[in-house]
């Protein structure tokens, strides 16, 4: 299987440009670029799906340039329905530094270059931009771009309208100054990519290459991202390794094979074998466990993966006290929580914290040995929950039944 065939098998090529793109990819020595705007101080799992593809190409021998858009981020790629909020220079700079650090860590050990398009646009005047770039792209051509045409009815600002020229200029600049002949992005960037290819062809008479990857969707058919409200951040201070691990462990059977192909570096033969075993005994969730382990190991490292496995085993067995404070905080970060400042009777607290719907239900769960506090079953209706018996004097972890966990925070 050639590299191009493997990318197709993994479902990583949607749109493509360049008649001999397949040859360029299989020769494994092209300089290409992947870019993102610093709209937040961290990338998320939606970005990571295409970053993994860039990393896959780098491992195969291609040279990646990773562009963080300090210039384009000041304008903002047009949204399909409404104008994007302009963010300040200071915010862009802060976000840019955070993302730059992330991509450098993701590509540790590989020959990669991180660039900022502000460096080659900051000294360009508006007249220079119009004369040297704007004159090569027809307005009708821009109006036919999907994202622009969809905004015409509701209105699009001139700043957003010209965004595609700014990104197109990035491709031209990198082509001329770094011999970057290919761009690799998510499919939502296809219109901007083709503007760059058009500009390269018209201005310097050269041919460029590109391919896009389909946007990866969650089980609800939504794309991953902060605007969709389901962002899973690459920054572990924003989304812990355990939260990511749990999310992936809970992947649906109809999505897990796609995620294995996109997010992991397992070979096709290994993925085929895993899926065959998974289909024989889906209740073991082999595919989901493999996905979660490979993802966390690649993104966060072996140590973080071991923490996730330890936390999962402790929660499954109810051995909460076996967790370090760091592991406990990772485990409870996404749990429903309730704060108390005074000692509370267990029945009253279960109702106040909305763990049980009524005192009658709370008493039933307690009498049936279905309530555990910090890993110990409680069947005393007069039990008092207090800071003195909290874990690390801060947290009381309540387990209701076999799987539902809640956290009481003592303040």
- Token code pair at residue 172: 């031209």
Task: Please tell me which residue, 404 or 220, carries the higher pLDDT value.
Answer: 404
Tell me how far apart the alpha carbons of residues 389 and 391 are, in angstroms, rounded to a whole number: 7
- 335-411: same fold as 3-213? no
CA-nearest of 407, 400, 237, 269 to 339 is: 407
Which CATH topology does 240-332 take?
Tyrosyl-Transfer RNA Synthetase (1.10.240)
The average confidence (pLDDT) of the chain is 93
Asked whether residue 139 carries a pLDDT value surpassing 60, the answer given is yes
Task: Please tell me which residue, 266 or 153, carries the higher pLDDT value.
Answer: 266
Please tell me the least confidently modeled range out of 157-166, 213-222, 233-242, 338-347. 213-222
pLDDT at position 226 = 56
Q: Which residues have a Cβ under 8 Å from the Cβ of 219 and sit 6 or more positions away?
A: 251, 252, 254, 255
CATH architecture of 3-213: 3-Layer(aba) Sandwich (3.40)
The terminus-to-terminus CA distance of the chain in angstroms comes to 59
Asked whether residue 342 carries a pLDDT value surpassing 80, the answer given is yes
Task: Please tell me which residue, 116 or 145, carries the higher pLDDT value.
Answer: 116
The string of pLDDT tens digits covering residues 270-316 is 999 999 999 999 999 999 999 999 999 999 999 999 999 999 999 88
Where does the pLDDT of residue 164 fall: very low under 50, low under 70, confident under 90, or very high at 90 and above? very high
Note the pTM of the prediction, 2 decimals.
0.89
pLDDT at position 230 = 60
Asked whether residue 379 carries a pLDDT value surpassing 80, the answer given is yes
User: What percentage of the chain exceeds 70 in pLDDT?
Assistant: 99
Asked whether residue 174 carries a pLDDT value surpassing 50, the answer given is yes
The string of pLDDT tens digits covering residues 3-62 is 999 999 999 999 999 989 999 999 999 999 999 999 999 999 999 999 999 999 999 999
Provide the residue count of the chain: 411
pLDDT at position 228 = 47
- Token code pair at residue 312: 């999962």
pLDDT at position 227 = 52
Strand partners, 16: 211
Task: Please tell me which residue, 226 or 356, carries the higher pLDDT value.
Answer: 356
Task: Please tell me which residue, 224 or 269, carries the higher pLDDT value.
Answer: 269
Task: Please tell me which residue, 27 or 230, carries the higher pLDDT value.
Answer: 27
User: What is the domain partition of the chain in residue ranges?
Assistant: 3-213, 240-332, 335-411
Mean pLDDT value of segment 356-370: 95
Which CATH topology does 335-411 take?
3.10.290
């Amino acid at each position: 299987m050639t590299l191009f065939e493997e990318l197709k098998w993994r479902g990583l090529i949607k749109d493509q440009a360049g008649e001999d793109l397949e040859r360029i990819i299989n020769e494994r020595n092209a300089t290409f670029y992947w870019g993102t705007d610093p709209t937040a101080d961290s990338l998320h799992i939606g970005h990571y799906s295409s970053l993994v593809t860039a990393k896959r190409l780098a491992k195969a021998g291609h040279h990646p340039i990773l562009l963080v858009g300090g210039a384009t981020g000041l304008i903002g790629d047009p949204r399909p329905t409404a104008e994007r909020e302009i963010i300040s220079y200071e915010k862009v700079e802060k976000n840019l530094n955070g993302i730059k650090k992330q991509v450098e860590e993701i590509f540790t050990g590989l020959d990669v270059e991180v660039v900022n398009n502000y460096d080659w646009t900051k000294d360009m005047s508006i007249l220079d931009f119009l004369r040297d770039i704007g004159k090569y792209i027809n307005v009708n051509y821009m109006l036919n771009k999907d994202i622009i045409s969809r905004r015409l009815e509701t209105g699009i600002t001139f700043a957003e309208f010209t965004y595609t020229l700014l990104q197109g200029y990035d491709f031209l600049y990198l082509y001329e100054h770094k011999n970057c002949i290919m761009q690799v992005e998510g499919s939502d960037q296809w219109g901007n990519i083709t503007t760059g290819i058009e500009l390269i062809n018209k201005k310097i008479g050269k041919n460029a290459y590109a391919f896009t990857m389909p946007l990866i969707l969650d089980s609800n058919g939504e794309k991953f991202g902060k605007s969709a409200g389901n962002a899973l951040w690459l920054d572990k201070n924003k989304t812990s390794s355990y939260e990511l691990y749990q999310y992936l462990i809970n992947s649906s059977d109809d999505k897990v094979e796609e995620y294995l192909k996109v997010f992991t570096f397992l070979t096709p033969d290994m993925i085929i074998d895993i899926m065959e075993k998974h289909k024989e005994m889906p209740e073991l969730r082999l595919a989901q466990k493999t996905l979660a382990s490979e993802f966390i190991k690649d993104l966060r490292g072996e140590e973080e993966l071991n923490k996730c496995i330890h936390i999962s085993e402790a929660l499954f067995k109810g051995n909460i006290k076996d967790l370090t404070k760091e592991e406990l905080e990772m485990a409870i970060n996404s749990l429903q929580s309730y704060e108390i400042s005074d000692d509370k009777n267990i029945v009253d607290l279960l109702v106040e914290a909305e763990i049980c719907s009524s005192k009658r239900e709370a008493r039933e769960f307690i009498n049936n040995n279905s309530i555990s506090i910090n890993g110990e079953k409680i069947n005393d209706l007069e039990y008092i929950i207090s800071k003195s018996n909290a874990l690390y004097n801060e947290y009381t972890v309540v387990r209701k039944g076999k799987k539902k966990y809640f956290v009481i925070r003592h303040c």
